[in-house]
Amino acid sequence: MTLWSTRPPVSAEVSGEAPVTGGRAERVRQRAQRRFYPEVQALRAVAIGMVLLFHYGSGLFATQGSFVGVDVFFVISGFLISSHLIAEVDRTGSVRLPAFYARRARRLLPASLSVLFVVAIGSVLLLPRDEWGLVGRAIVTAAFYGFNLFAAAEVARDPGVHIHSLPSVHYWSLSAEEQFYLVWPPLILLAVAIAAALRRRGRTVGTVSAIGVTLAIVASISFVWSVAWTLADPRIAYFMTPTRVWEFAAGGLVTI
């Protein structure tokens, strides 16, 4: 997740696109000018603190509030990424997908792969041979940011499997986040295209407003899906990306 804006915003008139007018677009521009979000850092500290308290088993708080930390972290991710994507749309009228994915790779791959390399060596040295198969598959899926899907599949196959004892289990949230990064820019571009098509038909539709409506629809569908799936099978629903999308979308809606 990035807390800094790399370029100052340029108005849509300069970019040659249809101007985005209204208070919402102005808030997007003002937010893009900020280079640091102290309130976001504070929320991150609270979220991480909740997760740490859970893993240290700190009594009543750990059982009632710990999982909220993961939810808050996903909302923050949605806010930060959506802020940059919407600001880029306001500057240029589009999103450069190769540049976006390249930035994600440069930011995440070196650290995440280095950790998994150490985990793999440690697993070979410390774990019994009969556990290498499951642990190896867990490490490989984590390397490709698919651990959450692997965990859900394993739970569905064997409800008694101890997913949380795997050394790469904490990659489940990073995997869900990366899957979100994969689909979110194209979704923003879809909203931009819909707004442009409506304007060509003579309707007054702001690009930022169109993005907001798109995110609200996605958030609503994901939230209903999350509630239904959690009632049916909470262990699988916990890991699945579709049940988490509404949290990312909620963060994105804050930017509108």
Q: Could you give the CA distance from residue 238 to residue 233 in angstroms, rounded to a whole number?
A: 9
Q: Which two tokens stand for residue 177?
A: 């986040």
pLDDT at 242: 95
- 1 within some domain: no
pLDDT band at 41 (very low <50, low <70, confident <90, very high): confident
Instruction: Assess contact for 151 and 163: CB atoms under 8 A.
Output: yes
Domain limits for position 87: 12-254
Q: Could you give the CA distance from residue 38 to residue 3 in angstroms, rounded to a whole number?
A: 9
- 39 within some domain: yes
Q: Which two tokens stand for residue 76?
A: 């923050």
Instruction: Assess contact for 188 and 95: CB atoms under 8 A.
Output: yes
Place of tokens 């009594």: 59
Question: Minimum mean pLDDT among 7-11, 138-142, 173-177: which range?
Answer: 7-11
Instruction: Assess contact for 237 and 226: CB atoms under 8 A.
Output: yes
pLDDT band at 11 (very low <50, low <70, confident <90, very high): very low
Cα-based torsion angle of the residue sequence 116, 161, 51, 126 in order, rounded to the nearest 10 degrees: -40
- 218 within some domain: yes
- 2 within some domain: no
- 216 within some domain: yes
This prediction's pTM:
0.80
% of the chain surpassing 70 pLDDT = 81
- The total domain count for the chain is 1
